[in-house]
Structure 1
Amino acid sequence: MAAAGRVQSEDQFLCSICLEVFTDPVSTPCGHNFCRSCIFEHWDKNEIYQCPMCQKAFDPRPELYVNTFISQMVAQFRLKVQHKPNISSSDQQAAKPGEVPCDVCTGTKLKALKSCLVCLTSYCQTHLEPHLTLSGLKRHQLIHPVENLEGRMCRKHDKPLELFCKTDHTCICHHCTYSDHRSHDVAALKEEHEEQKPELKKTAAEIKQMIQERRLKIQEIQRSVELSKNAADTETAEGVEVYTALMESVQRSLDQFLEKIQEKQRSTEKQAEDFIKELEQEICELEKRSTEVEQLSGSEDHLHFVQRFTCVKAAPPMKTWTKVSVRPPSYEGTVVRAVSELKDKLTEDMKKVVKAELKRVQQYEVDLTLDPDTAHPRLILSDDGKQVHTGDKWKNLPDKPQRFSEGVCILAKQSFSSGRFYFEVQVKGKTGWDLGVVRESSNRKGGITVSPQNGYWTIGLRNGNEYKACAGPSVRLSVQSGLQKVGVFVDYEEGLVSFYDAGSSVLIYSFIGCCFNHQLLPLFSPGLNAGGPNSAPLIITPVHTE
């Protein structure tokens, strides 16, 4: 009887079928206890005699007898509940944050002592008394106080969720095992709880790892943003400097142009002023002579007349102005010459900008090696995989999927799917070639139309002096004679492919706004031999910066 005296919770005396305190408790051969009427009714409804708790089957149907020991403990529990001393409201504590409050209390909410799964209500000691004394309420199932009681009840059977269906991965009540979850793999929540505990630790560790990974990713993104900001600030400063210099050049050119125009105008005005001044002086002199002639015309003094008229006639002759004129200056070609000079100046400035830009992209140099498995059968490679030229004979090579069958091309072994890369190729002494990058999945068999639409971003030379960008349609390029080395730069994320004259630091052409979503491989085509003039090889060379 000492064991009975230690029983403190009604939960230990509840039948798992009716969820009430045992009435005539009986024990199954597997050791679980039920009300006698409950287990008999359960077996009467089912063809298989199973324990509702552990699902153990019995054949034939076992004989069950009232468990006197459990009956005595139930009786002791009922007696103890009936004589349990009352606790005054003043001795009870108000519910603290995180504790379950009594749902019945008004004003100050006291700490709940029990929650009823039938009433779906939590009670303090005072409001719990009816459940301990009234016969109708004594059959209700009381548990330790919890929140969200509705969520602990089966919505279909209005019974507590005490089992876990491993088949459907959901919590169920005992009645569910007779209907929707019949013959499913079912376990008590306590057993499932113990089973899932190790998984919880593993899940907690995984979550912490994921949190750490995401924090590191945040730091990585923040570093990227900081690097981007620094790069943007640097590029902005350099851009402002370049554009300021260009604007100053334009302004100086404009000032010089205006000064030339104004100088011509000032010269014309000065010439006109000098002519007018001289003419005004002669007019003044002629007016004086005119006045004297008028005076002499009325004179009767013969001596005076002859003397003065002789002086008038002896005056020096005046300048002949018939052929004198002020011609407006010619401004024809002034604007053209000024703009031409400005263009030359801007071209020089542009060369400086491109040279600086080329130095920046050259830092993304990659070491490339030609891939013989992609080479057209007429191509001949050097032992180090850095040179390729076209031979006159077809080699007997296996027709691999990656090999070009008609286009006299070869690819590099290295491929790229992000970031930036740069390489240089010597084209000295050649009359025809193609260079660029190609999408790894692009067609290499049969006749190939080289264009961005087909996954090719290339430029080329034909007939020794015809340069073109294979932009679909082709774009004629203006390239200075003597091109010996081509630099190729790719920015995968920006969708940019640029080609440079690496010798004179001139930008030849750029494909912009490209959409890269596959691996890219550098492409080389030394062109047909054409009887010998185009026999020089394409050579992948290391970058040499000044």
Structure 2
Amino acid sequence: MAQASSTLDQNQFSCPICLDLLKDPVAINCGHSYCMSCIKSCWDQEDHLGVYSCPQCRQTFIPRPVLNRNTILAEVVEKLKKTGLQAATPADHYAGPGDVECDFCTGRKHKAAKSCLVCLASYCETHLKPHYESPAFKKHKLTDATGRLQDKVCSQHDKPLEVYCRTDQQCICYLCTMDKHRSHDTVSAAAQRVEIQKQMGETQREFQQRIQMREKELQELREAVGSFTSSAQSAVEDSERIFTEMIRSIERRRSEVTKLIRDQEKAAVSQAEGHMERLKQEIDELKRRHSELEQLSHTEDHIHFLQRCQGLPVTPEAGFGPRISVSPRSDFGNLRKVVSELKDQLENVCRKKIAEIHHPVTKDTILPELVPRTRAEFLQWELLFLSPAASWSFTFT
């Protein structure tokens, strides 16, 4: 209870401008209290208008009120200071690197909660209260705190950007619709955002489907590599066993076949690993784009949404390679048959059978030959995979 009372005292005797305990407190005609230096500084900026207002309720005064120190209030504040009940602001309420600062805080700036497109200023929670409480600010346009308020205002008419010109594909103000963009196809920024976000929803679903498809292909490819490696290892072991039973004269041929199998295994696995790496990169990129669209779809700032969505991908297919199909499981069965026959034959037939071995080994692979079906698909492949030294040839259908 003592702590709650302390917080109440701090709020009652804090200056709404500097947010610290009142220094030389004064009460102006509307009843609100400020530090004398704070309200003087505020009214000094209104001298050229000749009309002075309360920063909280916006009540105006003519002429400039005479300020007198509120002795009783000053004594109460001094007692608060002696009891140690200083007004404290949590550290996370102060603006840090990258945060938008409140334009009305003096001294150490607080973090802005909203920006006003009419005032062209940003406000912390305390200085934002008049925009919520005073009828004078009822028509002001508040948006998420931003340090680039000029980007939300028409450079020609100095009015908020609230309209989207479909003809010129840019954000404009209402005066622009009667000027340079007269007779153009225009809608409100909110309406255009709804239309684009509807399209974006379809794109996000396509991204999700593509992610699931690629993840499935990646899993199939992993399983195929494991099966292929196991099959290759089994083929090596079988051939080693058969060749060991043969006479010394065919030892050299055994080494040739073993090397052939290993080379093909290495080439096939290397090819598959390359596609696996590409699939991982595509999945990461698809997830990144999906996340970017997800974050953008939740922003409340229509203008930021429209300006950012211009550079986003329309469909998830752009910049990605073709689908990958995995070949059925291979077990080097033909090789075993040929090697078994070779065991019963003499050296004079070994040279002929080695040529027969080469063909069944090289045709076993994890992935079929990938051939682009269209010119556009070929250009995508060339961009994604081909190095300057590559010399692949393709047939278009």
Fold similarity call, TM over 0.5: no
* Higher percent of residues as strand: 1
How high is the TM-score relative to the length of structure 2?
0.35
How high is the TM-score relative to the length of structure 1?
0.27
Larger radius of gyration, structure 1 or 2?
1
